Amino acid sequence: MRIEQLETTFFEDFIALAKVMQEECEPDLLFDEQTLVEWMFNGTADAERKWMNAWLAYDDEDKLIGMAVASTGGYPFSKSTWSLMHYWYVLPEYRQTFAALELLQAFEAWSRKLGCIRMHFGADRVDVDKARDINGGIEKLGFTKYGEQFYKRLD
């Protein structure tokens, strides 16, 4: 398995996996490929990736099996920076591999490189037993459960 930072050469793979992710996680939301392409060009335009980044996980046969997308932001009460993982997805048949962990490690390395004081991410659309397994494993990596997430659809 290998992890690659998103580059223009990986756009086609990224778009294909994003479609699969959206079909599984948000099937009622219209997939807009043009918006994704614009986001990818904006994200990869900054060679230092100070504001956003993405990583792709490939298996040993070069099949794209997962991805993570993150950004940074300023903490409103100090000059500190934090990072936020927006999407963290691994194909169902590869969820028992280390792909998710390796994507998380790439996110942490990037966050540390940028001097972020905190990393934030959430996991959703997971059944209760898997969520317990994920949370226990995540806490062993030094993460702390922080509040709850809520959302409201506005469409």
| CA-based nearest residue to 117, from 74, 82, 75, 71 | 82
The mean of the pLDDT values for the chain is 85
Average the pLDDT over 31-58 and give the result.
Answer: 91
Going from the C-alpha of 20 to that of each of 15, 72, 133, the distances in angstroms are 9, 25, 24
The distance between the two most distant Cα atoms of the chain, rounded to a whole number of Å, is 47
pLDDT reading at 153 higher than 80? no
Question: For the chain, which residues make up each domain, given as ranges?
Answer: 2-125
pLDDT tens-digit readout, 81-96: 999 998 889 999 998 8
pLDDT tens-digit readout, 73-82: 987 888 889 9
CA atoms within 13 A on the CB side of 75: 13
Going from the C-alpha of 59 to that of each of 5, 24, 25, 98, the distances in angstroms are 15, 20, 22, 10
Question: Does residue 68 contact residue 106 with C-beta atoms inside 8 Å?
Answer: yes
For the four alpha carbons of 3, 10, 115 and 141, in that order, the dihedral sign comes to negative
pTM: 0.84
pLDDT reading at 34 higher than 50? yes
Q: CATH class for domain 2-125?
A: alpha beta
Average the pLDDT over 100-107 and give the result.
Answer: 92
